[in-house]
Amino acid sequence: MSNRSEEIKKGIERVPHRALLYATGIPKSEMDKPFIGVATSFTDIIPGHVGMRDLERFIEKGVHAGGGYPFFFGVPGICDGIAMGHSGMQYSLPSRELIADMVETVMQAHKLDGLVLLTNCDKITPGMLMGALRVNVPTVVVTAGPMLSGHLRGRRLSLVNDTFEAVGKYKAGLIGDKEIEELELCACPGAGSCQGMYTANTMACLTEAIGMSLPRCATALAVSAQKRRIAFESGRRVVELVKKKVTPRKVVTMESMRNAIVVDLALGGSTNTVLHLPAIAHAAGLKLPLENFDELSKKTPHIADMLPGGRHYLEDLDWAGGIPAVMKRLKGLLNDHITASGKTVFEIADEAEITEEDVIRPLDKAHHKEGGIAILRGNIAPDGAVVKQSAVTKNMMRFKGKAKVFDSEEAGMKAIMEGRIVSGDVVVIRYEGPKGGPGMREMLSPTAAIAGMGLSESVALITDGRFSGGTRGPCIGHVSPEAMEGGPIAAIKDGDIISIDIPARKINLELADAEMEKRLSGWKKPRPKVTAGWLSRYARLVSSAADGAIME
């Protein structure tokens, strides 16, 4: 079977096409080789991406060594940490759709034969995967790797726990100006994705679990020689996949998606995966309803105590054996299937070595009997809501409190910083969903401030927005339907009693059905926050968070 690229380089009618290709500097001797697209999200403004120029070189070497010819093209990236807490975060989740569109567009317009995705951060990895699955040409993903932990006076530091939460500690008078300045300089020592099981690293781990990255790619540190070798082998491997016609839709199946959920639950990963995995499945022509997460959570133990709720950093997980070692532990819960590496899931698991028993615990010594994520339902969230239960302490798994309601993240954050949130409160932040935000902003600033002030043991937060992978405590997001669609969260008033029961998977407003109906019947849709530009178009077309917030 011929390669796709013959459409742009074979036959007399392609004389002008060949002329343009030769203008790029490609030697004539390389024209018959497979053309490999390398989508790179290098940028100077995201720590997880600043080291990609080095990895690009090794991917390029690998493609040449494998017998292909690489063509690089750029994809934009947003740093969720820098975009956090202001209007910039409205663009983060929507950027996933733009990235998918860009990958699809470049690959289809130029008829390239294979694809390497060089990615790392939160929305970029799922966006690239979605684009690759639409195009369905042989693909390998290279995630650029996690950051080393920071260090200050003998203790290790991470971005979320030691900067975002430090804001709350500062406001509470627990730390001063000198320590704040030291934390700013030391928490993030260099290149790489943030050090805990936040969204970027969670998605890297799940990409490997699905089988789209080579073994150990997810946890190999950004600054390591191991990461360079993986980048080289990924470049070489994609040419082999082109020759064997192994496409992403042969790797990304319902079986591999369920494997990803199991690994996610065992690691206590970010709640954002409940948006990204269904969207990736949709791009592959599959349906992955929320019920999959809860069904698997009830039988998947939480075996890795990762930041932000736990003790361990990504570097610890890598030293313990990485995702292959995690899959070794979980083998009895996984499906066997092919991966982009050429090995099956079970072959990878069988070859793995678990070198740190406490980092990747045996199933019978798990931190929790259930997985990291729970799906809650009730009269506030009839279509579902999401909580990272592995980051909630035992005494907050059931909670009842009075609502304090805010119609934006800024209003909620202002109340927190002014000390208006007290023990026993349930902070409600609404009109921040996919349509209402628009863009479904992450709420790391308010959740981290609550934790930093020492209130995470006595205050809950619910929102139709979403949370960073760095969030910990009783924080319930993705409440669906969202307020902008007239969902029940729009009916909550200050002083209402809200009950949360995570083990029972319940979240309810203690209000008679008749009163709820009365309030909702009087609800009027507010004017959109954004009425022009890309976000306005996104708000009109995006689906519910319960469906993965995909563009319809």
pLDDT in tens, 24-73: 999 999 999 999 999 999 999 999 999 999 999 999 999 999 999 999 99
pLDDT digits over 467-509, tens only?
A: 988 888 899 999 999 999 999 999 999 999 999 999 999 999 9
| Secondary structure E strands in 394-505 | 398-406, 425-429, 460-463, 475-480, 497-501
Does residue 444 sit within a domain? yes
Grade residue 309 by pLDDT with cuts at 50, 70 and 90. confident
Q: Is the dihedral of CA 43, 49, 55, 59 positive or negative?
A: negative
Residue ranges in 119-252 assigned as alpha helix (H): 124-135, 159, 165-171, 177-186, 199-210, 225-244, 248-251
Give the pLDDT confidence score for residue 70 in this predicted structure. Answer: 98
pTM score above 0.85 = yes
344 and 457 belong to one structural domain: no
198 and 183 belong to one structural domain: no
Does residue 24 sit within a domain? no
**Domain extent at residue 39:** 33-148+190-351
Reduce the DSSP state of residue 219 to 3 states and report it. Answer: coil
Is pLDDT at 97 greater than 80 in this prediction? yes
Mean pLDDT throughout 10-14?
A: 97
Residues in the chain: 552
Spot the catalytic one: 390, 468, 480, 544.
Answer: 468
Is there a catalytic annotation at residue 468? yes
Number of other residues whose CB lies within 10 A of the CB of residue 540: 12
Is pLDDT at 353 greater than 90 in this prediction? yes
298 and 413 belong to one structural domain: no
Sheet strand arrangement including 69-74: 69-74, 35-40, 114-119, 139-143
Number of other residues whose CB lies within 10 A of the CB of residue 67: 14
Q: Of the residues 285, 317, 351, which one is the last residue of a structural domain?
A: 351
CA atoms of 146 and 196, how far apart (whole Å): 8
With beta carbons less than 8 A apart as the criterion, state whether 296 and 192 touch: no
Does residue 361 sit within a domain? no
Give the pLDDT confidence score for residue 398 in this predicted structure. Answer: 98
Does residue 21 sit within a domain? no
Grade residue 2 by pLDDT with cuts at 50, 70 and 90. confident
Q: 35: number of CA atoms within 13 Å, CB side?
A: 23
Give the pLDDT confidence score for residue 161 in this predicted structure. Answer: 87
| CATH code where residue 434 lies | 3.50.30.80
Reduce the DSSP state of residue 196 to 3 states and report it. Answer: coil
Mean pLDDT throughout 112-135?
A: 98
pLDDT digits over 447-459, tens only?
A: 999 999 999 999 9
Q: Of the residues 321, 351, 381, which one is the last residue of a structural domain?
A: 351
170 and 102 belong to one structural domain: no
Strands 497-501 and 398-406: antiparallel
Give the pLDDT confidence score for residue 552 in this predicted structure. Answer: 79
Does residue 14 sit within a domain? no
Closest CA to 283 of 440, 137, 100, 439: 100
Tokens coding 512: 């008679």
Is pLDDT at 255 greater than 70 in this prediction? yes
Q: 285: number of CA atoms within 13 Å, CB side?
A: 9
Does residue 10 sit within a domain? no
Give the pLDDT confidence score for residue 415 in this predicted structure. Answer: 97
Mean pLDDT throughout 150-163?
A: 94
pLDDT digits over 318-329, tens only?
A: 999 999 999 999
Q: Is the dihedral of CA 48, 68, 285, 294 positive or negative?
A: negative
Q: How remote is the C-alpha of 19 from its chain's centroid?
A: 42
Give the pLDDT confidence score for residue 170 in this predicted structure. Answer: 93
Mean pLDDT of the chain: 97
Reduce the DSSP state of residue 368 to 3 states and report it. Answer: strand
409 and 326 belong to one structural domain: no
Q: How remote is the C-alpha of 301 from its chain's centroid?
A: 21
Does residue 520 sit within a domain? yes
Is pLDDT at 442 greater than 60 in this prediction? yes
Give the pLDDT confidence score for residue 471 in this predicted structure. Answer: 87
Is pLDDT at 311 greater than 90 in this prediction? yes
CA atoms of 531 and 411, how far apart (whole Å): 21
528 and 497 belong to one structural domain: yes
Reduce the DSSP state of residue 480 to 3 states and report it. Answer: strand
Mean pLDDT throughout 100-126?
A: 98
340 and 381 belong to one structural domain: no
Grade residue 171 by pLDDT with cuts at 50, 70 and 90. confident
Mean pLDDT throughout 429-442?
A: 97
Does residue 16 sit within a domain? no
123 and 172 belong to one structural domain: no
Counting the structural domains of the chain, the total is 3
Is pLDDT at 369 greater than 80 in this prediction? yes
- Exposure string of 116-142, with b = 16+ CB inside 10 Å and e = fewer, is bbbbbbbbbbbbbbbbbbbbbbbbbbb
DSSP state of 316: H
259 and 325 belong to one structural domain: yes
| CATH code where residue 292 lies | 3.40.50.2300
Question: In what helix (H) or strand (E) does residue 386 lie, and over which residues does it extend?
Answer: strand 384-388
DSSP state of 427: E
302 and 205 belong to one structural domain: yes
Is pLDDT at 366 greater than 60 in this prediction? yes
315 and 266 belong to one structural domain: yes
265 and 390 belong to one structural domain: no
pLDDT digits over 193-210, tens only?
A: 999 999 999 999 999 999
CA atoms of 469 and 274, how far apart (whole Å): 11
Is pLDDT at 1 greater than 70 in this prediction? no
Q: How remote is the C-alpha of 434 from its chain's centroid?
A: 16
